[in-house]
């Protein structure tokens, strides 16, 4: 069994550990590092996974999953540089950090795979996009695909598309939360109690998402099926169009892509 070490078991790191345990991975082969002793003992108790330090993790693990915040990467790279060798696959979940950063700082030839996950990983429904660095092979990508499929779906993308992916699926859940929040407000405006409005909208979102995922139908087809001539839905659609909601969505996602590019530039090759 592959030994995996998660470096920085915060929200995303814990979600991955939990998904791997639920998928049947032996917890004894799942290591993690954490800064807070209290947090570490919580994780050991909850999942039976093994706490390690960075050097110990690098020695034992076949795969090192880097899950610290991008702003915490420098000290971790300093710790990793002397202990990682080219037999270890490094998987980065850090938003905006290019594979070239890891390749520059770690032993020559170290295989690196970059992943853009999203928060539904905590409920096993992540969308993760993975890209190979210069030394990562097809087998490395297949291994990462296998690991991440225990916490959701996985797509392969060229690294050049990672900023666009960040804007689409990385930030994507936030757009849906925002929409749900606005729809609940509309329910309040119409005099529906908050708890009921919340239930109505969340279940509509779950139902719509399940139809999209399971029917294989285009979203336009599904929307047309509930849009009858001179009916209620078309009146709402007219208002959405009048307020430029589609154009706002395009501009919003483009702005998120631009910001992701800007954040990444700080870590590009000198």
Ligand X SMILES: NC(=O)c1ccc[n+]([C@@H]2O[C@H](COP(=O)([O-])OP(=O)(O)OC[C@H]3O[C@@H](n4cnc5c(N)ncnc54)[C@H](OP(=O)(O)O)[C@@H]3O)[C@@H](O)[C@H]2O)c1
**Which spans of this chain sit near ligand X (rule: CB under 6 A)?**
7-8, 10-13, 33-36, 67-70, 72, 75-76, 93-95, 117-119, 170
Q: How far apart are CA 119 and CA 68, in angstroms?
A: 14
Minimum CB distance to ligand X, residue 171 (Å): 8
SS3 47: helix
The rounded distance, in Å, linking the Cα atoms of 43 and 166 is: 28
7 or 136, CB closer to ligand X?
A: 7
- As given in the structure block, the two tokens for residue 259 are 């910001």
Choose between 147 and 197: whose C-beta lies nearer to ligand X: 147
Q: Each residue of 222-258: b (16+ CB within 10 Å) or e?
A: eeeeeeeeeeeeeeeeeeeeeeeeeeeeeeebeebbe
| Cα–Cα distance, 245 to 249 (Å, whole number) | 6
Q: How far is the CB of 169 from ligand X (least distance, A)?
A: 9
Smallest distance from the beta carbon of 45 to ligand X, in angstroms? 16
> HEC profile for 190-209?
CCCCHHHHHHHHHHHHHHHH
Shortest Å, Cβ 27 to ligand X: 19
Burial class (CB in 10 A: 0-12, 13-18, 19+), 12: buried
Residue 129 or 197: the one with the smaller Cβ distance to ligand X is: 129
Contact 86, 110 (CB under 8 A): yes
Considering the complex, state which of residue 14 and residue 103 has its C-beta at the smaller distance from ligand X.
14
Residue 161 CB, nearest approach to ligand X (Å): 15
CA-only gyration radius of the chain, Å: 21
Minimum Å gap between C-beta 92 and ligand X is 8
Q: Which is nearer to ligand X, 97 or 184 (CB)?
A: 97
Comparing CB distances to ligand X, the nearer of 67 and 89 is 67
């Amino acid at each position: 069994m592959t030994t995996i070490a998660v470096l920085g078991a915060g929200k995303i790191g814990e979600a991955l550990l939990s998904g791997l345990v639920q998928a049947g991975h032996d917890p004894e082969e799942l290591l993690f590092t954490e800064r807070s002793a209290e947090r570490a003992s919580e994780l050991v108790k909850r999942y039976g996974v093994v706490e390690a330090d960075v050097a110990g993790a690098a020695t034992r693990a076949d795969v090192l999953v880097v899950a610290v915040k991008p702003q915490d990467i420098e000290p971790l790279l300093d710790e990793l540089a002397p202990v990682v060798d080219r037999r270890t696959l490094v998987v980065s979940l850090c938003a905006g950090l290019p594979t070239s950063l890891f390749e520059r700082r770690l032993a020559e030839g170290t295989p690196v795979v970059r992943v853009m996950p999203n928060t539904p990983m905590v409920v096993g429904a992540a969308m993760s996009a993975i890209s190979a660095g210069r030394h990562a092979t097809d087998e490395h990508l297949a291994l990462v695909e296998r690991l991440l499929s225990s916490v959701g779906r996985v797509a392969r993308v060229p690294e050049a598309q990672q900023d666009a992916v960040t804007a689409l699926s990385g930030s994507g859940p936030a757009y849906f939360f925002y929409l749900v929040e606005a729809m609940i407000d509309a329910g309040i405006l119409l005099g529906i109690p908050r708890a009921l409005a919340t239930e109505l909208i969340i279940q509509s979102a779950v139902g719509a998402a399940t139809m999209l995922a399971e029917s294989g139908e285009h979203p336009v087809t599904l929307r047309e099926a509930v849009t009858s001539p001179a009916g209620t839905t078309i009146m709402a659609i007219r208002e959405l169009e009048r307020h430029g909601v589609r154009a706002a969505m395009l501009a919003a996602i483009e702005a998120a892509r631009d910001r992701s590019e800007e954040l990444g530039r700080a870590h590009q090759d000198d």
